[in-house]
Amino acid sequence: MTLTWVLGIVLLAALLPGCLFVAWMLVKRPLEVWVWASRRMLLRAGLRKIVVQTPLGPQTAFVGGVGPVLVFLHGVTHQAGTWARVVPSLAGRYTLVIPDLAGHGESAPRTGPLPGLDVYQGLEAVISTQAQGRPATLVGNSLGAWMAMVLADRHPDRVERLVLVNGGALGGWNLRVNLAPKTREETRATMAQLMDASSPAIPDNILDDMARRAASSPVARMLAAPGSMEAWLLTEDQLRTLRMPVRLIWGVSDQMFPVDYARRMAAVLPDAELIPIERCGHIPQQEAPGRFKAALARALGSR
């Protein structure tokens, strides 16, 4: 046996435990791998991870770039990395602020009930420190769109433009969608309501991992704070006071926030435009990132 073979065997023996662990993670904990990879993409895009100290505890965000302030807000159970395929091309034109909403990702509180007040106050603290008095454009998906509208209602001077992506602060969405599935089949049924039928099927191991995480997910923690979110709904009269441009990017296959929900908001907002994305569901930045980026360019550029 040559020295090269001996060294190769020694190296393989050293690497094998790590390789086996990675393989196990890909099969049994694929969502953790995706979270890690998506956050690495934000760092490779030139953003840096910062921590904002708040009464809630530390709030994590990814920031970087130059120009007008552009804030990206993810949906419930997600984290900043959900925008990883969208933001790399924007850092040269915008100051990007991409937080983990309170109770999500690496932002406190990490355990216990998660009331809407925590989510809002964490967001307000991050924007106050990172926008540094400059008005920002807020791009929010689902829960992120809801919180963006609340911030615009309470602090219109801080918000230059809203881009709402399959979400909002107006009541009337489809509450029959099960956001806390306990089994693979329940999770499959939920995702069928949130995605277009033509999109690739989600592998069983990912469905299993989603079901495993559901009991301790931010959704479950928000449900453990009953009534805390209803206080953050806005009325149609409040929507009429939002004078900044509002663009609604909508995956029309979404059954939780159907396109009629977007039309209801657009009908009362003073300056609104609906930008539909066909054959796409609740999370366009992941399901159809190319078409979402084109819709976002239109939303950011149109008056």
Coil, strand or helix at 96: strand
Question: What CATH architecture applies to the domain 29-301?
Answer: 3-Layer(aba) Sandwich (3.40)
Q: So what's the pLDDT on residue 88? A: 87
- Encode pLDDT of 186-221 as tens digits: 999 999 999 999 999 999 999 999 999 999 999 999
Q: Is the pLDDT of residue 1 over 50?
A: no
The reported pTM is 0.92
CA–chain centroid gap for 146, Å, is 12
Q: So what's the pLDDT on residue 2? A: 46
Task: Give the residue extent of every domain in the chain.
Answer: 29-301
Amino acid at position 233, single letter? L
Pick the range with the lowest mean pLDDT from 9-18, 49-58, 107-116, 167-176: 9-18
Strands 136-141 and 69-73: parallel
Complete edge-to-edge strand list for the sheet that includes strand 136-141: 48-52, 59-65, 95-99, 69-73, 136-141, 159-165, 246-251, 272-277
- Encode pLDDT of 28-86 as tens digits: 789 999 999 999 999 999 999 999 999 999 999 999 999 999 999 999 999 999 999 99
